[in-house]
Amino acid sequence: MPNKEVRAIITENKIQNACTDVSYPQLSGLPDEVIQNQLNELIKDRVLGLIPKEGCDVYQVIKGTYSVELNQKGILSLKFNVYTYRWHAANGLDVQKSITVNLETGRVYQLYDLFKRDSDYRSVLTKLVKEQISERDIPLIEEFKTISDNEDFYLTNDSLVIYFQEIEYTPHYIGIPEFPISYSQIRNLVRPEGPISWFIKGK
């Protein structure tokens, strides 16, 4: 289990030009400066990867924001959103990405890292997402079949949130569809040494 006292101090950086206004976080206050620098480089690289290289010649607006979804018990989960609008386009496009890291070790978690190796977590998550699609009456343009081992996600204090990109499965007007899954629903599947186990109530 990580040090429960480790939290990142977060300040805001910006990338700006004639059409671009992108905010992204910078971390400080971590116990290991080398890991802190590595994580800051990783965050910046992820954000730069969301900014179209064609720039203002092609895009009228490039707007980027972020949110801190979890910053407790040595775990940081960040969500990034970049909205782009091409010159003369009918609609803009949102792209969302996230990153979940261990602030002590610098480890970046993929979805499969959160669960026991022998668990049938993909089937369980797929079923829970399909149930939400049905219950929330979310329209689909493409059939959702299964969760992948590297599906996009972020963590909160009480939920694993899986999301898909705009127009990946749903019409444009739906935006980024997110599916929060309570830790209580998957507690038997998570790795005992993984980050979710540290946030399950009663542990």
Number of Cβ within 10 Å of residue 127's Cβ equals: 13
- Residue 83 and residue 65 in one domain: yes
pLDDT for residue 5: 81
- CATH number of residue 135's parent domain: 3.90.640.20
- Structural domain count, the chain: 2
**Within this chain, do residues 71 and 168 fall inside the same structural domain, yes or no?**
no
Nearest-5° Cα angle at 42, 37 to 48: 125
Digit-coded pLDDT (tens) for 65-117: 999 999 999 999 999 999 999 999 999 999 999 999 999 999 999 999 999 99
Q: Tell me, yes or no, whether 85 and 6 share the same domain.
A: yes
Residues 167, 202 within the same domain:
yes
Residue 115 and residue 60 in one domain: no
pLDDT of 148 reads: 95
Determine the pLDDT at residue 203. 47
101 lies in the same domain as 117: no
pLDDT less than 70: residues of the chain? 1-4, 201-203
DSSP state of 6: -
6 and 102 both lie in a single domain: yes
Helix H or strand E encompassing 194: none
Domain assignment of residue 97, given as a range: 1-108
Check whether residue 40 and residue 123 sit in a common domain: no
Same domain, 78 and 166: no
Distance (Å, whole) CA 203 – CA 188:
13
What pLDDT sits at residue 4? 65
